[in-house]
Copies of this chain bind each other. A is one copy, B any other.
Amino acid sequence: MAKEVKLTRNQQVVMAALTDAGQPLSAYQILDLEVVRDNGLKAPLTIYRALEKLMALGQVHRIESLNAFVACDHEPHAEPAAFMICQDCRCTIEFSTTSLSRSIARHAGQHGFQMAGMHLEVSGHCEACASAH
């Protein structure tokens, strides 16, 4: 892991829930999990606060098109995120954008736009779902 930051109890609980899920969950879906409620988290704000911190640490990313949150599946990072989202099983695959973001930044520059960050979401069908029709 890049940088061991001590997470608070609430943050650990939310992080564990997302890691276990292996797919994006909305804040309210997290809130409804038994393992979360049993740990005393019972208000939306409690979840959102934990998520906010986890996103700042790059351990969780937000999927805009789903209004949901997903555990980062490799090194935590704040770098531009990109996701493939299966329309069938809802699984997500995160991929790196190092090369892509450079070319997009250049493209933006041609429009006089100074790029600060980017967010890419690709929808479609994952390998398992595509082969199963």
Is A87 in the interface zone, CB < 8 Å from B?
A: yes
A115 touches B84 (CB 8 A): yes
Q: Is residue A28 within 8 Å, beta carbon to beta carbon, of the partner chain?
A: no
The complex is assembled from copies of this chain, and their number is 2
Task: Select from chain B the residue with minimum beta-carbon distance to A104.
Answer: B122
Asked if A90 lies at the interface with its beta carbon under 8 angstroms from chain B, I say no
A127 proximal to B (CB < 8 A):
yes
Asked whether any CB of chain B lies closer than 8 Å to the CB of A5, the reply is no
23 CB-based A-B contacts, threshold 8 Å? A64-B65, A64-B119, A64-B121, A84-B108, A84-B111, A84-B113, A87-B116, A93-B111, A93-B113, A95-B107, A104-B122, A108-B124, A112-B127, A113-B124, A113-B125, A113-B126, A113-B130, A114-B126, A116-B124, A117-B122, A118-B122, A118-B123, A119-B123
